[in-house]
Amino acid sequence: MPAYPETFDHMINAWNERDPERIRGHLDRALSDDVEFCDPQHHTHGIDEFEAMVRQFRTDLPDAVCARTSGMDAHHHLYRYAWSVSVGDEVLVPGFDVAAVDSAGRVCRVDGFFGPLPEPTS
């Protein structure tokens, strides 16, 4: 399995940063300039749009804490892991991401999913 890229720590630190002026510093250490982010509520291109999304998240949920809640599985520059957004003891949103890193180890794409996987249908 590939080594765990520190860029993932910087990315989650951006989501948890309370000082809006420090968010970009975390993102500059974590993301490629042309990062793409896609989840059920957002589709952003580039570090500026990613930063705007994180700033809006911090405005909307100032007390929220984002945490990785699983280990990380990896192959071919792709990583998957579970996460949650919580306020106090209440989990607001559980989910998982599949993220890709570039040759420098910077996150270049994140595809996020909310909630558990659905049950199979017959």
Q: Which domains does the chain possess?
A: 7-114 (3.10.450.50)
**Residue 2: pLDDT over 90:** no
Q: What is the pLDDT of residue 117?
A: 87
**Residue 4: pLDDT over 90:** no
User: Which amino acid makes up residue 37?
Assistant: F
CA–CA dist 17, 51 (Å, integer): 11
Which residue carries 């700033």 as its tokens? 55
Mean pLDDT of the chain: 96
Residue 114 falls in which region: left (phi positive, over 0), alpha (psi -120 to 50) or beta: beta
Q: What is the pLDDT of residue 103?
A: 94
**Residue 101: pLDDT over 70:** yes
Token pair for 121: 């249908």
Average pLDDT of the residues in 98-120: 95
pLDDT digits (tens, 9 = 90+) for 55-99: 999 999 999 999 999 999 999 999 999 999 999 999 999 999 999
